Amino acid sequence: MQSPAPFARIGTRGSPLALAQAEATRDLLARAHGVDPTAIDIVSFVSTADRLKDRPLAEVGGKGLFTKEIDEALLKGEVDIGVHSAKDMATTLPEGMTLAAFLEREDVRDAFISLTARGIDYLPEGARFGTSSIRRAAQVKRLRPDLMIVPFRGNVETRLQKLADGVADATLLALAGLKRLGEDRRATAILDAESFMPAPAQGAIGLAVRAGDDRATALVAPLNHLPTSRAVTAERAMLAVLDGSCRTPVGALSRMEGEGIVLQGEILSLDGAERFAAEVSGRAEDGERLGAELARQLLRAAGPDFLSRWSLP
Ligand SMILES: NCc1[nH]cc(CCC(=O)O)c1CC(=O)O
């Protein structure tokens, strides 16, 4: 007997975190529409970013690489909904695709993890800091120019094993990812978001559908969390103006104040020696414009040659 057609098909990467996010999305969809979770298929893809694990993301070509295979499956109609960490999504989406909803955001902060030190300040002179994120590297170097940055990618378990193996003395991970994996007890310390700004859209999950797919759009609509959607829209608009290819260290932090949004942003030189920060505020529904305005302020402060001086070649 042929099995019935699935209620919906979700596309995701196959990492433990990506699968946890896809399962959370499936369960929310099932509950919102009164169907059994088993009626929703989860289809996993190996992304280019996962295949090129040993090289810094900014070097291999940036964010589109996390989503390319899923985007293609979505556009071909092999899946109906792409589930993505919003911070891994390129600011310009492929033609024919739209971000139709954002799940309620998890904690935006970064977690510090070390087997030997209780915080960045406590690391010994010249200690090795494991990260392949140019934002985290620049932020760490700004606080501790003596530390040595060593490349560090892979999923949470891999990174913890690398710490145990002595490849690095400390690392940073998004607390959101640790929480979704039920691994937040692994955090040695949680960094204050004001002084150590998260990546734009960190902690948020975006749901992509084919543009014009009214059914998929309606399926994900009840899952949209408006404050998250507004904050992430503003942060991504800032990033789009600054540097869509994620070759410049950028931090962002937004908070809602009633119907208003306060958006803070920073850009840093790769070595952390230079930093420019700014803040804008306005109506939460104007996030797109506010994010772009913040980016222009940062670019004005940094000077016209900043991006060319401080981006990866
Ligand atoms: N670039 C990898 C990535 N993309 C999203 C998360 C964490 C989850 C999130 O921010 O929503 C991570 C891992 C990390 O930065 O520790």
Q: Are residues 10 and 147 in the same domain?
A: no
- Same-domain check for residues 231 and 306: yes
**31 part of a folded domain:** yes
* Nearest atom of ligand 1 to the alpha carbon of 172: 16
pLDDT of the residue at 156: 82
- 84 and 95 fall within a common domain: yes
Domain presence at residue 198: no
Domain membership of residue 117 as a residue range:
110-190
pLDDT of residue 171: 97
* Angle at which helices 287-302 and 226-243 cross, to 10°: 30
What residue ranges line ligand 1, CB within 6 angstroms? 85, 87-88, 173-174, 176-177, 202-203
- Residue 88 is a catalytic residue: yes
Checking DSSP bridges between strand 128-130 and strand 148-150, what pairing results, if any? parallel
Query: Does a structural domain hold residue 196?
Result: no
Residue 54, pLDDT score = 62
CA nearest 228: which of 40, 77, 67, 102? 102
Calculate Rg over the CA atoms of the chain: 19
Residue 180 CA, ligand 1 centroid: distance in Å: 11
Instruction: Give the whole-angstrom CA distance, residue 307 versus residue 313.
Output: 10
99 and 1 inside one domain: yes
Looking at 50, 71, 88, 107, which residue is catalytic? 88
pLDDT string in tens for the chain (313-residue length): 567 899 999 999 999 999 999 999 999 999 999 999 999 999 999 877 666 666 655 555 566 677 889 999 999 999 999 999 999 999 999 999 999 999 999 999 999 999 999 999 999 999 999 999 999 999 999 999 999 999 998 888 899 899 999 999 999 999 999 999 999 999 999 999 999 999 999 999 999 999 999 999 999 999 999 999 999 999 999 999 997 555 789 999 999 998 999 999 999 999 999 999 999 999 999 999 999 999 999 999 998 777 777 666 6
What total number of domains does the chain contain?
3
CATH number of the domain bearing residue 15: 3.40.190.10
Let me know: does 128 contact 148? Beta carbons within 8 Å: yes
Give the pTM.
0.93
Q: Which two tokens stand for residue 215?
A: 């059914």
Instruction: Give the nearest ligand 1 atom to 180 CA.
Output: 8
| Residue 180 belongs to some domain of the structure | yes
| pLDDT at residue 305, as a whole number | 78
Q: What is the pLDDT of residue 66?
A: 77
**Sign of the dihedral through C-alpha 99, 103, 108, 110:** negative
Instruction: Give the DSSP letter string of 204-258.
Output: -EEEEEETT-HHHHHHHGGG--HHHHHHHHHHHHHHHHHHTTS-S-EEEEEEEET
